[in-house]
Amino acid sequence: MQHGKYRFIVGFLAVPLAIYAVFVISPFLQAIYYSFTDWTGLSPDFKMVGFKNYRKMFADDVFWKSVGHNVLLLLVLPLVTLGLGLFFAFMLNVGGRRRKNAAVAGVRGSGFYKVVYFFPQVLSIAIVALLFQFAYNPNSGALNSFLDAVGLDSVRPDWLGDPDLALWCVMAVMVWSNVGFYVVLFSAGMSSIPKDFYEAALLDGANRIQTFFRITLPLLWDTVQTGWVYMGIMALDGFAVVQIMTVGPGGPDYSTEVLAYFLYTKAFRDGQAGYATTLGVALLIVTMIFAGIVMKLGRRERLEF
Amino acid sequence: MSAAESESAVERNGAGDRIGAEDRIGTEGRVLNVFSHGVLILWALMVTLPLLWAVMSALKDDKAIFTSPWALPTSLHFDNWSRAWSQAHMGEYFMNSVVVVAGSLFGTMLLGSMAAYVLARFEFPGNRFVYYLFVGGMSFPVILALVPLFFVLKNMQLLDTYHGLILVYIAYSLPFTIFFLSGFFRTLPSSVAEAAMIDGASHTRTFFQVMLPMAKPGLISVGIFNFLGQWNQYLLPAVLNVGDEDKKLLPQGLVALAVSQGYKGDWSGLFAGLVIAMLPVLAAYIVFQRQVQAGLTAGALK
């Protein structure tokens, strides 16, 4: 059995490990190193500058603006997306007409809803962003023509062109494209909760809202927490939506600037590769703080059923 | 007193007006049913209307798109589609995406399952270290590595090449693939593998002819996950594949098309391009929706 075991292990691990080391591990380590240099990315010369990039970052208004936007995305996006996902999943699984011998029932056609809700999830983010860029177009976009059609011509917002609205428009698109995934995810979790739990609760006089908060949500908590982390990672990115949808660099008056896009422009437009990696390190720290908070808040007894 | 309470009262007393209680339960059920169908249909419309609007616009001429965005097309302009496919290079971009994703998906599945198998079923010094090195990559923001990655590829002359992109896609798909598949390989019975070894099969042969076929459900789940992720990848090609116009991938090509058609004012061609990129994925999803949903949610739950 042991014959050739180590040769086999090395043979199977060498290539994947080499690819991973060259394209993932080494850039990651280099990024931390370059964040202490004044490298432009255009010429091979650079020198160590200590914490100069970090000081520059802390004094940079656009950096703080994008951090603010990222934090707002982190707070709003998971809350709205997971909230809608839970609500629709609960409707699908428990909102149906009560049938004989069953305390709770799903709505008719729940399979159909799940298929349709999932549509945006399989589309490329580039397609989604472009589609909504047209929908938001102030002159001939779908949204404003719809407002015209229902007699609200006087409203006609500028959508992505309005610094106060642009970020919310971007967030709406991110919610739109992600809700379906969570409906399916939570729905799968809910359907594995034993029906007797619901029956017992109904017999004890619980209404649907109590049933949701006392039974469904606690039993689904692990899944919700995973979803929260996933959505948080989405919220920290936001690169494609901002780059494709918003006008100018990072929206009107940087109103939709996020860290990922700010990093990209610094590195590939402004020739400040060293500074860009500093921003990347900041993004990594924000990510780690976020993950730490979720783990801390989410820690509670595991429920087995 | 809610319907459910009265129901429990009936249960406790073993008597009472059972018919009346059931009647009330029925009413509550109906109201709830109407409400839940109402909100569910509302969201279904919010999801489908933008997509239908895009398909409709792709069949109109430019004037109709501007003057009556919500009206049904009066005549079907399929010339938009052929213009987008050939003149705007959507056909080429589509094929570029096919080449890159085919290569990287194959590589990811092969290398990922090989590494996952070794890490899951063999004990050797450093096993845990290598495993966590791979799995740690899942919590790692790609954007942080982007600048050095660009120069790694540049130094290796891999910038703006298919094989460069393929290698990068594989590298960034490995963490999740290995995490998922090593969990899967661990659950497979070891008796089958032992039997194969006793029959004289080598480790390699055991892997390819016994263990890999047994892991098929797991391979399908993670394969779908990787396919969608790689097909829809935007950030990596947007940075690593910008030198050559003809080598653009589909999502990149679409964005470039949006910019150029915007100057030309060819909105119908642009919508056609959007729909060309959208329809094959949606069609494939509708056919395989069960596997896609299971594959993606398995990805999140594990």
The whole-number average pLDDT for the span B211-234 is 91
How do residues B68-94 score in pLDDT, each as one tens digit? 777 777 778 888 888 888 888 889 999
Q: How far apart are CA B16 and CA B174, in angstroms?
A: 64
Reply yes or no on whether the pLDDT at B173 is more than 50.
Answer: yes
Residue to substitute from A40, A123, A181, A289, interface B, most B β-carbons within 10 A? A123
| Sign, Cα dihedral of B36, B42, B43, B48 | positive
Residue of B nearest to A124 (CA): B232
H helix and E strand count, chain B: 16, 0
Which residues in chain B are contacts of A281 at CB distance < 8 A?
144
Q: Answer whether A280 sits within 8 Å of B143, measured CB to CB.
A: yes
Which residues in chain B are contacts of A247 at CB distance < 8 A?
none
Residue of A nearest to B121 (CA): A9
Asked if B231 contacts B281 with a C-beta cutoff of 8 angstroms, the reply is yes
Q: Answer whether A284 sits within 8 Å of B235, measured CB to CB.
A: no
CA distance B167 to chain A (A): 7
Q: Answer whether A140 sits within 8 Å of B69, measured CB to CB.
A: yes
The pLDDT of residue A294 is: 75
C-alpha distances in Å from residue B168, one per residue of A125, B128, B171, B178, B247: 19, 24, 5, 16, 16
How do residues A77-111 score in pLDDT, each as one tens digit? 999 999 999 999 998 888 776 665 566 777 888 88
Q: How far apart are CA B263 and CA B261, in angstroms?
A: 5
A186 inside 8 A of chain B by CB: no
Q: Answer whether B53 sits within 8 Å of A205, measured CB to CB.
A: no
Q: Answer whether A20 sits within 8 Å of B171, measured CB to CB.
A: yes
A106 inside 8 A of chain B by CB: no
How do residues B1-27 score in pLDDT, each as one tens digit? 344 444 444 444 444 444 455 555 556
Q: Answer whether B53 sits within 8 Å of A142, measured CB to CB.
A: yes
Which residues in chain B are contacts of A262 at CB distance < 8 A?
none
User: Could you say which of B43, B168, B203 has the minimum Cβ distance to residue A5?
Assistant: B203
CA distance A253 to chain B (A): 21
The pLDDT of residue B25 is: 55
How do residues A134-164 score in pLDDT, each as one tens digit? 888 887 778 888 888 787 777 778 888 888 8
Residue type, B283: A
